[in-house]
């Protein structure tokens, strides 16, 4: 490889050439904040020359908060013996989906804890009931750790678990549970969760079975920039192989009621730099999401100038981040549209698969 320089790496990116881990690290350490943002914005424009910024209308239903993983960053989970531990009954879940439909939503995001009392049949029945009553809803549910745990609990291959869930009506899988795809980091913050290789296997398998998934990254805790680049390299490699990821969604750890409350939270500058590096590095991802939920709408909008082309969700419900000290404010559709326009972009509502439903001129 030629001698590393910011100018040489910029030239590669502008020419559409792939950069590699050592170049990403060099760019991070030597390019200034504005250069990173401008380069990421250049890549965004290559994928999205129309300056359309998308969002989805969805609901995040947490069917249970009982979890045995014990992740140190999580303020949401409860032990089975806790007074506020719960498993939602089917009528409650269906009512929540009904409200989503009445609200004009298209996507049901459903995740829970790793609850040892719930068999695979519980998940199959839940999905099939939702599909039966609300066939128009796109069912985007369950994270890799949930699927891996079901595989072990039921003594079934991961592929068989996904096949059964798909048959019941599961349409796509969110990227939750990735955190940082470096085993060194996972051993520190989520030792009770699936391994890096297991997370990767779930997504590769889903793609092979014709399902799309998203790739996520939760950062700003105990990781280094080298760990972040390892994560980006891993998801880029899977995307090279399968093309099954619809988007990359990075967000930051929020403290409050967690075992990582001693950690200094990531600054908005750090968030925007990681967002920009992600856009530059993931040359095979069409969509990158900016997080207004963990960053506030103001920073979320700046993220649109640091490589993102999607502003996530107008959510009817959010429980996980809200369990921390961070006060989540979810905008209404008209507020989201107004915000995107104020940042100089054209707002558009999308579905789970990033198909545009409506453009707001």
pLDDT at site 124: 98
Give the domain ranges of the chain: 32-359
Token readout for 358 is: 């409506």
For the entire predicted model, the pTM comes to 0.94
Checking if the pLDDT of 74 tops 90, the result is no
Nearest to 177 by CA among 160, 161, 194, 153: 194
What CATH number does the domain located at 32-359 have? 3.20.20.70
Residues whose CB is less than 8 angstroms from the CB of residue 223 and which lie 6 or more positions away in sequence, other chains included: 180, 182, 185
Residue 70's pLDDT band, with cuts at 50, 70 and 90, is confident
Q: Which residues are annotated as a binding site for (3R)-3-methyl-D-ornithine?
A: 143, 291, 313
The 10s digit of each residue's pLDDT in 103-148 is 889 999 998 888 999 999 999 999 999 999 999 999 999 999 999 9
Residues whose CB is less than 8 angstroms from the CB of residue 311 and which lie 6 or more positions away in sequence, other chains included: 53, 54, 55, 289, 290, 292, 300, 301, 304, 336, 339, 340
The 10s digit of each residue's pLDDT in 34-60 is 999 999 999 999 999 999 999 999 988
pLDDT at site 317: 57
Task: Give the residue-averaged pLDDT of 296-323.
Answer: 82
Token readout for 11 is: 């030239």
pLDDT at site 3: 87
Nearest to 63 by CA among 96, 130, 29, 112: 112
Q: Which residues are annotated as a binding site?
A: 67, 71, 73-74, 143, 179, 291, 313
> Which long-range contacts does 74-81 make (Cβ < 8 Å, 24+ apart)?
74/258, 74/320, 74/323, 75/256, 75/257, 75/258, 75/320, 75/323, 75/324, 76/113, 76/319, 76/320, 76/323, 77/113, 78/113, 80/115, 80/117
Residues whose CB is less than 8 angstroms from the CB of residue 187 and which lie 6 or more positions away in sequence, other chains included: none
Task: Give the residue-averaged pLDDT of 8-24.
Answer: 97
Burial class (CB in 10 A: 0-12, 13-18, 19+), 15: exposed
Checking if the pLDDT of 210 tops 50, the result is yes
Q: Which residues are annotated as a binding site for [4Fe-4S] cluster?
A: 67, 71, 74
Residue 254's pLDDT band, with cuts at 50, 70 and 90, is confident
Token readout for 106 is: 């298209």
Whether residue 6 contacts residue 31, with contact meaning beta carbons closer than 8 Å, is answered with: yes
Task: Give the residue-averaged pLDDT of 281-291.
Answer: 97
Residue 321's pLDDT band, with cuts at 50, 70 and 90, is very low
Q: Which residues are annotated as a binding site for S-adenosyl-L-methionine?
A: 73, 179
Tokens 């990821």 found at: 245
Considering only residues 27 and 81, tell me which one the structure prediction assigns the higher pLDDT: 27
Residue 68's pLDDT band, with cuts at 50, 70 and 90, is confident
pLDDT at site 256: 81
């Amino acid at each position: 490889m030629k001698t590393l320089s910011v100018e040489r790496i910029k030239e590669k990116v502008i020419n559409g050439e792939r950069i590699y881990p050592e170049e990403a690290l060099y760019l991070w350490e030597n390019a200034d904040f504005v250069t990173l943002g401008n380069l990421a914005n250049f890549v965004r424009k290559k994928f999205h020359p129309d300056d359309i910024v998308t969002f989805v209308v969805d609901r995040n239903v947490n069917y249970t908060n009982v979890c045995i993983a014990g992740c140190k960053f999580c303020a949401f989970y409860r032990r089975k013996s806790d007074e506020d531990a719960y498993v939602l009954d089917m009528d409650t879940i269906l009512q929540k989906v009904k409200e989503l439909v009445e609200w004009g939503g298209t996507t049901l995001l459903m995740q829970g804890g790793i609850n040892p009392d719930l068999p695979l049949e519980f998940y199959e029945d839940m999905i099939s009931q939702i599909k039966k009553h609300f066939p128009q809803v796109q069912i985007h549910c369950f994270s890799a750790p949930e699927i891996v745990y079901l595989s072990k609990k039921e003594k079934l291959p991961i592929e068989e678990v996904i096949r059964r869930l798909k048959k019941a009506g599961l349409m796509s899988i969110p990227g939750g549970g990735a955190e940082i795809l470096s085993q060194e980091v996972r051993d520190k913050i989520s030792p009770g969760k699936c391994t890096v290789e297991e997370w990767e296997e779930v997504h590769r398998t889903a793609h092979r079975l014709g399902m799309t998934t998203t790739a996520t990254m939760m950062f700003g805790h105990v990781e280094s920039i080298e760990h972040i680049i390892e994560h980006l390299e891993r998801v880029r490699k899977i995307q090279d192989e399968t093309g099954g990821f619809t988007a990359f969604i990075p967000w930051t750890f929020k403290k409050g009621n967690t075992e990582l409350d001693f950690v200094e939270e990531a600054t908005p500058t750090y968030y925007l730099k990681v967002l920009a590096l992600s856009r530059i590095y993931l040359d095979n991802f069409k969509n990158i999401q900016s997080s207004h939920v963990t960053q506030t709408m103001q920073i979320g909008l700046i993220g649109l100038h640091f490589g993102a082309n999607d502003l996530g969700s107008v959510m009817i419900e959010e429980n996980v981040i809200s369990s921390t000290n961070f006060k989540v404010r979810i905008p209404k559709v008209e507020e989201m549209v107004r915000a995107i326009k104020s940042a100089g972009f054209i707002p558009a509502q999308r579905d789970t698969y990033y198909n545009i439903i409506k453009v707001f001129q």
